[in-house]
């Protein structure tokens, strides 16, 4: 997340959301955490709190984290 320009408060929230994805103990919980993270980015983008490129980078960061978490939670 180092290449994304965020205020301190926004960065703490983004890191908290990313941690929730990483701690999810089921696929449902992971998907819900991913949806919250996406909503956070959408909200910040809507109110003009993010530059266009930063919003896209955050979407990618959260999506990648969710995909990785879902892979680890998927039954073998």
What tens digit of pLDDT does each residue of 34-72 get? 999 999 999 999 999 988 799 999 999 999 999 999 999
* Domain presence at residue 40: yes
Query: What secondary structure letter does DSSP report for 3?
Result: T
At what angle are helices 52-73 and 27-46 packed, to 10 degrees?
A: 180
Of the candidates 29, 31, 35, 36, the one whose C-alpha atom is nearest the C-alpha of residue 13 is 36
Give the pLDDT mean for 9-26. Answer: 96
Structure confidence at residue 76 (pLDDT): 66
The answer as to whether 62 is a domain residue is yes
Between residues 73 and 76, which one has the greater pLDDT?
73
Distance between CA atoms of residues 22 and 16, nearest Å? 10
Q: Is 68 part of any domain?
A: yes
Task: Provide the domain limits for residue 69.
Answer: 12-73
- Which tokens go with 60? 């990618």
In this structure, is residue 2 part of a structural domain?
A: no
Residue 20 banded pLDDT, cuts 50, 70, 90: very high
If one compares 76 and 64, the residue with the highest pLDDT of the two is 64
């Amino acid at each position: 997340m180092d290449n994304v320009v965020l205020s301190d408060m926004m960065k703490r929230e983004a890191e908290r959301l990313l941690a929730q994805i990483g701690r999810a103990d089921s696929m449902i919980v992971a998907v819900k955490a991913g949806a919250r993270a996406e909503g956070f980015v959408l909200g910040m983008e809507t109110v003009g709190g993010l530059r266009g490129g930063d919003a896209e980078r955050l979407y990618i960061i959260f999506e990648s984290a969710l995909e990785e978490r879902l892979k680890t939670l998927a039954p073998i």
